[in-house]
Structures are given as C-alpha cells and as structure tokens.
C-alpha cells in the first residue's frame, strides 16, 4: 500500500508528539502551592 511505512510511522509519531505538546501548552497542569520551610539557626548547635 505505502512504499515507505517506516517514514509514515515516524511522521505519525511526530504528529502525535506535536499534538500532545500543544495540548499541554493550552491546558497546563495545575501547580499546588507548598509552604517554604526555612531552617532557623539554633543556639544549641553553635560553637562557643
């Protein structure tokens, strides 16, 4: 049917990747905010 099925399969795969990238770009996943935890210096572990 086709002379080069490997080229057709590669083109189809590239097309699917392009559609997936466009879909992720149009509808990005939501980011859940997380609190930033800072390490406070402790007097117990400081040198004298």
- pLDDT tens digits, one per residue of 11-45: 999 999 999 999 999 999 898 999 988 887 776 66
Token pair 């007097």: residue? 43
Is residue 20 domain-resident? yes
Is residue 13 domain-resident? yes
Dihedral over Cα of 8, 13, 16, 17: its sign:
negative
Is residue 37 domain-resident? no
Is residue 41 domain-resident? no
Domain that holds residue 1: 1-27
DSSP conformation letters of 3-34: S-HHHHHHHHHHHHHHHHHHHHHHSPPP----
Q: Which two tokens stand for residue 4?
A: 């080069």
- Name the domain count of the chain: 1
**pLDDT band (50, 70, 90) for residue 4:** confident
pTM, 2 dp? 0.55
Phi and psi at 26, nearest 5°, equal -75, -35
């Amino acid at each position: 049917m086709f002379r080069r099925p490997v080229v057709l399969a590669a083109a189809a795969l590239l097309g699917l990747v392009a559609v997936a990238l466009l879909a992720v770009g149009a509808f990005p996943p939501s980011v859940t905010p997380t609190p930033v935890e800072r390490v406070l210096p402790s007097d117990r572990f400081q040198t004298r």
